[in-house]
Each structure stands twice: as C-alpha cells, then as structure tokens.
Amino acid sequence: MIWLTQVARALGLQEAFATAHAVLDDLTPGTPEAVVRTGLERGRVIRSSGRPDEARSFFEAAARTARAAGLDALAVDALHMVALVVQDEHRLDANHAALDLARSSTQPAARDWDASILNNIGMVHADAGNWDQALAAFEEALDARERIGDDRRTRVARWMVAWALRNLGRRAEALEIQQRLKAEHEALGTSDEYVDEEIALLAD
C-alpha cells in the first residue's frame, strides 16, 4: 500500500491532482508509517495545487504521528514541508525545528535531512537579503553534503556557496569555485547552464 502513496506523489508532480487524490482516497492506512506517508502525500498534492494553508494541517499531523512512532526521517520530512507552507516570518523557526530533530536523531536517514534543511535556511536568508547568514547556512549544507557523499548534490551545494559569495561581492572566490565546477563537469562529459551563467556574470 505504501508504494501507492509514491504513485500519488508522482501524479501530484505531474499536476494530475484529481487522480492523485483518488489514489489516496482508495487507501486504507494500517501501520503508522502508512498513515504518515498518506498524510504527507495528501499535503504535498494540496500544496502543489496552490493551497498551502490547507496543506499545513496534513504535514503537522504527519509529523506528530511519525514522532510518536519513532519514524524520525518521516517526521523531519513532514516538518520540512511545514516550513515550506508557513508564513514568511515563521519560515526560519519552522526550518530550525526540522533541523533540530534531524540533528538529534540517531537514525542516519533522519540525520541526512540536515543538508536539505540547511539549504532551505540559506534560501530564507537569501530571500531576505541577509547574505552573510545565507553563506553560513550554505557552507554548513556543503559540509553535510560532503558527509553524505552524493557528488551531484555536493556540486549543487558548492554552487550555492559561490552564489552567496558573489552576492557578498567576493567575486574572485566565487569565480574560482564556479570554474572548478565547470572543469569537473567537462571531465564528466556534462554541463550545467547555471554554472556557465555565473561564470559569465563573474567575468564581466
């Protein structure tokens, strides 16, 4: 049954909202994990359809159920979704609540959420124009990505650090990082338009 919640998630990403809801409507969750995943995906579909305020209650309920059942990774996931739907002035607090749970957990899958949440914290600061704080969060996110060991996402985290450096006027440092990223992509036979865009901006 749990796999059907992921079907609903995929349908939501494709904006097939009615079909996604129909899949979730047909489920009869039994275990706590199934209850949490059903609530999470219901909330995600509702958020994707443009109703973030309505989605929030599903994420909060999923977080409570997951924490009570010791499902830390799902609890962090739910809290990170709460942080995406709260009002702007509460985004930092909501993200830090998710980060605190990730860092306090003994479960690796929960702890590894720290990278994504730190990136989100950096974006909140960036949106507010607080680039020093954004850089600090992005650097922490990069450390987390390096710990986790996902090369692709680590490159993205390095790009975020360079982006913050450029916005702080530290252009030489930013350019060095972006040029290293471009060299890595060339060695892999890949490319990244965002890296190229930043290099163009920094070369002016």
**Domain residue extents for the chain:** 1-109, 112-204
Residue 70 has pLDDT above 80, yes or no: yes
pLDDT at 190: 96
Position 1 pLDDT exceeds 90: no
Other CB atoms within 10 Å distance of the CB of residue 16: 15
Query: What's the confidence (pLDDT) of residue 91?
Result: 97
Q: For residue 115, is pLDDT > 90?
A: yes
Q: Do domains 1-109 and 112-204 have the same CATH topology?
A: yes
Q: Report d(CA 49, CA 39) in Å as an integer.
A: 15
Greatest pairwise CA separation for the chain in angstroms? 59
CATH number assigned to the domain with residue range 112-204, chosen from the 4 options 3.40.50.620, 1.25.40.10, 3.60.10.10, 3.30.420.40: 1.25.40.10
Q: Which helix (H) or strand (E) holds 7?
A: helix 2-13
Lowest model confidence (mean pLDDT) among 20-29, 101-110, 184-193: 20-29
Query: Residue 121 is encoded by which pair of tokens?
Result: 């914290």
Range in 5-9, 39-43, 75-79, 156-160 with the lowest mean pLDDT: 5-9
User: Quick one: pLDDT at residue 80?
Assistant: 97
25 has a pLDDT exceeding 90: no
1-109 belongs to which homologous superfamily? Answer: Tetratricopeptide repeat domain (1.25.40.10)
Q: State the CB neighbour count (10 A cutoff) for residue 36.
A: 27
Confidence of residue 4 (pLDDT cuts 50, 70, 90): confident
